[in-house]
Amino acid sequence: MPRTTISIIKADVGSFPGHSRTHPKLLETAAQMLKAERGKLLVDSFVTHCGDDLELVMTHREGVDSEAIHKLAWNVFLACTKVAKELRLYGAGQDMLADAFCGNVRGMGPGVAEMEFEERGSDPVLIFAADKTEPGAWNFYLYKIFADPFNTAGLVIDPSLTAGFVFEVHDLVGKRKISFSCPEESYSLLAYIGAPSRYVIKHVFKKDGTIAASTSTQRLNMMAGRYVGKDDPVMIVRAQSGLPAVGEVLEPFTIPVLVAGWMRGSHHGPFMPVGLCDANCTRFDGPPRVVCFGFQVTDGKLIGPADMFDDPGFDRVRARCNELADTIRAQGPFEPHRLSLSEMEYTTLPAVEKALEKRWEPLEK
């Protein structure tokens, strides 16, 4: 059986009004361009959005990091940027940091999550996309899904899961990686991933090497060296038959978690799971939100999507997120609503400080 690759490549190339949602014309342009490649470079495709981010989901036979696939995504974003500029959408071309494509979209602005695998007899896959937050936002959920027996019953009662999982963690500042085998090394794993602005889970594997999850880890502000909004990450998770069940993958999203991002990429706020109809940022440019689409991947075809958070089962977490939003918003410009100073280095605050620098006087001895 040929191996299947799923690539999600995403970018914010313009939105309306302000940074709230993707325009239908961008979605249409992207969908048509990818559809034209079906049966050629692509097996199948799905185009969607979360807030102001345009998500290209592609299945193909080219493997991960394929120049042809990355180039196709780049060209789609270029075409969408053109449309965004014609409509004078807000932030048209925002995430296209490079002037020209040079082999791989990594480091050029767009975010990428990919995985290649041999399809099982039946292969359920969940695609997650977030807006107004950073890649490390997935850390909490991936830990709960693949390492917490209070979340994932299968880790305790299904012999095909009891061996646990291996987590590959990237240090986005030190530009290095490390793997932790869980449950044995779960405390060491937590020592790092509890600091999600720097340490990010990139992949999760079964102990036999089978890929289970993959995330995007691009940090726009670090790539650009200036403030260009948050990275708004994506994630792919495989489920069932020796992996956590679909319901075990979704379960941790019932916990209201505070993540970094929201207004001006500078505030902590609750990460709200929503159906596609609510995947638009409004209040204080947020709150940060996440959508999930479920598919069966069959000979590379995407059978679906199912809009997984469009469900009353998530009404309560949404209400709790709103309550948290009220509580933390009341703190206005004060930490910990506003990010810590080290994180604010990547925002527009340093420019404000620079203007005031000369007015500071030394303290008397």
Instruction: Report the catalytic residues.
Output: 12, 227, 230
DSSP state of 117: E
In three-state secondary structure terms, 31 is helix
Work out whether 23 is an interface residue with ligand F6R (CB under 6 A). Answer: no
Tally Cβ neighbours within 10 Å of residue 23: 21
Q: Which does 264 bind (CB under 5 to 8 A by kind): Mg ion, ligand F6R, none?
A: ligand F6R
CB 300 within 8 A of CB 44: yes
With left for phi above 0 and alpha for psi between -120 and 50, is residue 14 left, alpha or beta? Answer: left
CB atoms within 10 A of CB 210: 15
Least gap, CB of 261 to ligand F6R (angstroms)? 6
Which of 313, 167, 205 minimizes the C-alpha distance to 252? Answer: 313
Q: Minimal distance in Å, beta carbon 336 to ligand F6R?
A: 18
Q: Is 95 in the site for ligand F6R (CB under 6 A)?
A: no
Q: In what order do the strands lie in the sheet with 111-117?
A: 42-50, 53-60, 4-11, 111-117
**Interacting residues with ligand F6R between 295 and 324 (CB under 6 A):** none
Query: How many residues bind ligand F6R, per CB under 6 A?
Result: 9
CB of 150 to Mg ion, least distance (A): 32
Chosen from ligand F6R, Mg ion, none, partner binding at 53 (C-beta under 5 to 8 Å by type): Mg ion
Which contiguous run of DSSP H or E holds residue 142? helix 138-147
Closest CA to 263 of 347, 205, 181: 347
**Any contact of residue 269 with ligand F6R (CB under 6 A)?**
no
Q: Is 352 in the site for ligand F6R (CB under 6 A)?
A: no
Helix (H, G, I), strand (E, B) or coil at 136: helix
Question: Is 111 an interacting residue with respect to ligand F6R (CB under 6 A)?
Answer: no
Question: Measured between alpha carbons, how far is 249 from 246 in angstroms, rounded to an integer?
Answer: 5
Tell me which of 263, 297, 321, 324 binds ligand F6R, using CB under 6 A. Answer: 263
CB of 280 to ligand F6R, least distance (A): 13
- Binding ligand F6R (rule: CB under 6 A), the pick from 10, 49, 230, 289 is 230
Using rule CB under 6 A, residue 219 touches ligand F6R = no
Residues engaged in binding Mg ion (CB under 5 A): 12, 15, 19, 51-53, 91, 131, 232
- The footprint of ligand F6R (CB under 6 A) covers 18-19, 132, 229-230, 263-265, 285
